[in-house]
Amino acid sequence: MGLIEWLKGFRVLHEAAKNGTLSADELIHYRSACDELARALLVAQRCGVRPGQQPCRALRVARALQLDLDFPDGAERAMTTEVSAEGFEALLSSPPRAGKEVRFSLRIPGGDPMRGSARVAEVRQQVGNVRASFAYVGIGAAEVDRLQQFVFDAVLAQLKI
């Protein structure tokens, strides 16, 4: 099977997974296919997968989503630059402290905003703003699935297959 045919088959599986119509065996196959596609895309992104990390959770997409952050010294509305099932990156006006946990609300298309906590993982100063990476803290399996679906929707939209 060629790449185009594989991707078309993956799209069908992905849509069925979103609709909740996969059998238990098909769901296992779908999750395996997600990891396979994620591994290939992570290589293309020149990102590694840490030992024990699931590739489909590590895969990130460049997407601008509205983000509200509640810092101890005030709130900030920002836009994400990247989103994954493990966290997000955003441009901020001032640098948060690395390691600090904050509350967030992330507007994911097609549903209610995702709310939870995230830890500041990395902060990089840029001219005029700050690029900060955040890792989700204690999000449930349903939210992880929702984020993974969003990421793979974005991937498939970019591939236009």
Domain locations along the chain: 3-59+141-159, 60-137
CATH (residue range 60-137): 2.40.10.220
Sign of CA dihedral 116, 119, 121, 124: positive
State pLDDT tens for residues 70-107.
988 889 999 999 999 999 999 999 899 888 999 999 99
Query: What phi, psi does 39 have (nearest 5°)?
Result: -60, -45
Closest by alpha carbon to 65, among 153, 156, 159, 161? 153
Mean pLDDT of 15-41: 90
For 1-86, strand residue ranges (E) read: 60-61, 66-71, 74-84
pLDDT range class, residue 49, cuts 50, 70, 90: low
What tokens appear for 85 in the block?
């099932």
Tell me, what's the pLDDT at 62? 92
**To the nearest whole number, what is the mean pLDDT of the chain?**
89
Report the alpha-carbon distance of residue 87 to residue 77 in Å, rounded. Answer: 17
